[in-house]
Amino acid sequence: MTERQLAELLKGMSLEEKALQLTQYPAYLSTCVVTGGDTAGDLSLSELRRMGSILNANDGAEIMELRRDKREHGISDPLLVMHDVIHGYRTIAPVPLALACSFNLQLVQDCAEMAATEAKYDGVDVTFSPMADLVRDARWGRVMESAGEDPYLCGEVGKAFIRGYHTGGLACCVKHFAAYGAAESGKEYNTAELSEHTLHEYYLRGYAECLKENPELVMTAFCVLNGVPVTGNRRLTVDILRDEWGFDGVLISDYASVREMICHGYCPDEKLAAYAAIKAKLDIEMSSPCYARYLPVLVKEGKISEDEIDDAVMRVLKLKNRLGLYENPERETNLKKRDEVTLCGRYRALARRAAEESCVLLKNDGVLPLKESASVVFVGPFAAEKEIFGNWGCRGNAEDTVSVKEGVDALLKKSVKTAPGCSHKLKETDESMISEAVQAAAKSEVIVACVGESMWNSGEAHSRTDIRIPKVQRKLINELSKLQKPLVLVVFGGRPQVLTEIEEHADAVLYVWQPGTEGGNAIAGLLYGKVNPSGKTAMSFPRASGQCPVYYNSLNTGRPNTQEANIYSSGYDDLPNTPLYPFGFGLSYTKFEYSDLRLSDEEFGCGGNLMATVRVKNAGAADGQEVVQWYIRDLYASCVRPVKELKGFEKITLKAGEEKIVSFEITEKTLAFRTAEGKERAEAGEFVLYVGGNSRDCLQKKFILNERK
Ligand code: NOJ
């Protein structure tokens, strides 16, 4: 449709129709339209039928029904179908935090494309992904949906997701704008309180970067930021998102977050909640009825102009138009093609590679890789578990998922012995199965204990205060360690858990997150050395829950906690400040040596550049992949800068003995930050460049940025 035709369409709509265009309800309510049941919702059947979009339908068949129903009732407006396609549709890739650990942007993009392809054939138009929330507190359950604690990585991973969705044929939505990940004490739906500096320097960067790939939608967050609920926070949504960043796509609320402004104590009733949201240029209200009920009233009362509604509706119509829904309301829905691609060999292979590259080898005293001839027992509640695909596993299911046992059985071509030892329930107290697992372990040469948190204990509404693995599993590990046999821990989790008291019993620790449909095959390949681990953690692993939030890019303070420091330094009496495993950390079965860090000059002027190079050698006996990480520290600035900031990375493949020169360009832009006056610029002075295979162990070199060219 042309712009003119869209304008005509808008002109022909009543106020009520416009308000319904700006309202989105979950498909389970719309399903009642088809089945003729009671909606039990806030809106009438006829209103639901005329809504512009729905979220999270059951499947393609239901979507087709809903579209048919619209047509049969003479409603020509096409239905826009949105869905939480987060890390896969039916073939499930590892959770986004794990994918970020691959530091392989092409892989992330390919996984997103795979998800989009399966979803679009099943009738989906838009996905509520990527999540670009910066996270620092592993107690928060939703860290699994993020790309971790670094703003640069969040932006790069977010953009890779968007590129993949677009090539796969879905529109997408960056969320949760803004600072949802800054929830105080890691508690779900909690308040965020951030200075302008921290907000801009850290939390907003990921979303802003994502906008460069032109996502069609942005979703507001549930939280209150600096005293104002984000869904009605004009400073954020109008001044920053629309005006400063120029976002002219669709801004959608999170689930009922318009109505929740009443509960927050920001708006006394639904009418004023609708008012606050439309004034914040929020286009679609998800799952609450404030717009449908009150936008027309607000216009009639003269509180808002019809133009304000028209602007919002036009953005929705443009999205439908961009998706081609006016020409073809079914778009690419094609259940036959869906069935052809769903879980096809190519997709399974991709999900497997994604899992292989996402797992992080945290410790290895030489027990890994396992020998195929060794007698190994697989114990622990995740040894044969198939629910390992992640809390946002969309239409993924346990039957399609490969467990560790199945993966190892396939690799060894025999059935390996497993014993759960306990359940994986968070609050499990039953220890009665531990002895059976210990007995089984006593008969084998090597023990692999598959432990961690269930996929139902991370994700939305799954914050935890104590992020150690559950108590009964700690007991199991303790008992196993008494056997004095090589002990490998395979740890599942949607967050970096506190491993302090279990890793000391272990000879190796492989952190596998929630690895998706092909998890078991990937883990088997890694354990037996068919694949060399290459994942690097995108979040620091705390030593204790009380260390949260712990992140590498912190400020130095006036009294940094170094070993020589006196007791009056910034730290704790009982633990060091450092995490157990730092950001960017991950081992391999080979060894990478960094040397010859060089800079093209010792200084450069504004407008110029410096080239840095480093030699990376695979000094071990196995071929492998390494993530070369470039960090910078600005030593003195008008706004103090973090001790290190990731500025670039490259994942390289090196055969045993091979070496490569890896280069990195530094420009003024690389060094820029947001000054106290709100200006994005670099300040002349001294900097340190770091390069290494993690954020802690780096080579370094100083350089200077001069005022003049
Ligand atoms: C609530 C979640 O916060 C959001 O991420 C999700 O997209 C919506 N529900 C829709 O399911």
pLDDT at 308: 98
C-alpha 254 to ligand 1 mean position (Å):
6
Mean pLDDT of 95-107: 98
Provide the percentage of residues in the chain whose pLDDT is more than 70.
98
Write the pLDDT tens digit of every residue in 64-89.
999 999 999 999 999 999 999 999 99
pLDDT tier at 264, thresholds 50, 70, 90? very high
Residue 564's pLDDT is what?
A: 65
Q: How far apart are CA 698 and CA 644, in angstroms?
A: 11
pLDDT for residue 40:
52
Give residue 49's pLDDT. 87
The confidence score (pLDDT) of residue 32 equals 64
* Index of the ligand 1 atom closest to the CA of residue 221: 3
Interaxial angle between packed helices 306-322 and 270-279, expressed in degrees from 0 to 180 and rounded to the nearest 10: 70
Q: What is the pTM of this model?
A: 0.97
Contact in structure between 84 and 56 (CB atoms under 8 Å): yes
In this predicted structure, the answer to whether residue 382 has a pLDDT above a threshold of 80 is yes
User: If pLDDT is split at 50, 70 and 90, which confidence band does 606 have?
Assistant: confident
Whole-number pLDDT of residue 563:
62
Give the list of residues 6+ apart from residue 37 with CB closer than 8 angstroms, or none. 31
Pocket probe for ligand 1: among 170, 175, 222, the residue whose CB has the most ligand atoms within 8 Å is 175
In 188-221, which positions are buried (b, 16+ CB within 10 angstroms) versus exposed (e)? Answer: bbbbbebeeeebbbbbbbbbbbbbebebbbbbbb
Q: What is the pLDDT of residue 34?
A: 59
The position carrying tokens 């092909």 is 518
Q: Quick check: 61 and 27 in contact, CB under 8 A?
A: no
Of 369-373, 455-459, 705-709, which gets the smallest average pLDDT?
705-709
Backbone angle region of 693, left / alpha / beta, with phi > 0 → left and psi within -120 to 50 → alpha? alpha
Is 312 within 8 Å of 278 (Cβ atoms)?
Answer: yes
Stretch 583-612: mean pLDDT: 97
Distance CA(432)–CA(288), nearest Å, equals 47
Whether 604 lines ligand 1, by a CB cut-off of 6 Å, is: no
Instruction: Give me the amino acid identity at 592.
Output: F
Looking at residues 642-652, what average pLDDT do you find? 98
Cβ(460) – ligand 1 distance below 6 Å: yes
Residue 92: DSSP 8-state = B
- Ligand 1 close to Cβ of residue 150 (< 6 A): no
Distance between CA atoms of residues 257 and 223, nearest Å: 9
Element (H or E) spanning 312, and its range? Answer: helix 306-322
User: Does the CB atom of residue 180 touch ligand 1 within 6 A?
Assistant: no
- Tens of pLDDT, residues 137-159: 999 999 999 999 999 999 999 99
If you search the block for the tokens 């832009």, which residue do you land on?
669
DSSP run (H or E) holding 262 = helix 260-263
pLDDT score at 31: 64
Cα–chain-centroid distance for residue 237?
A: 22
pLDDT (average), residues 225-230: 98
Q: Tell me, what DSSP letter sits at residue 186? A: G
- Mean pLDDT of the 276-291 span: 96
Q: How far apart are CA 582 and CA 136, in angstroms?
A: 12
Q: Which pLDDT tens digit goes with each residue over 28-64? A: 776 666 566 555 567 888 888 899 999 999 899 999 9
Alpha-carbon gap, residue 169 to 117, rounded angstroms: 6
Q: What is the DSSP string of 332-396?
A: T--HHHHHHHTT-HHHHHHHHHHHHHH-EEEEESS-PSPPTTS-EEEESTTSS----S-TT-TT-
The answer to which of 32-41, 644-653, 671-680 has the lowest mean pLDDT is: 32-41
Predicted confidence at residue 607, as pLDDT, reads 87
pLDDT (tens digit, 9 = 90+) per residue, 486-509? 999 999 999 999 999 999 999 999
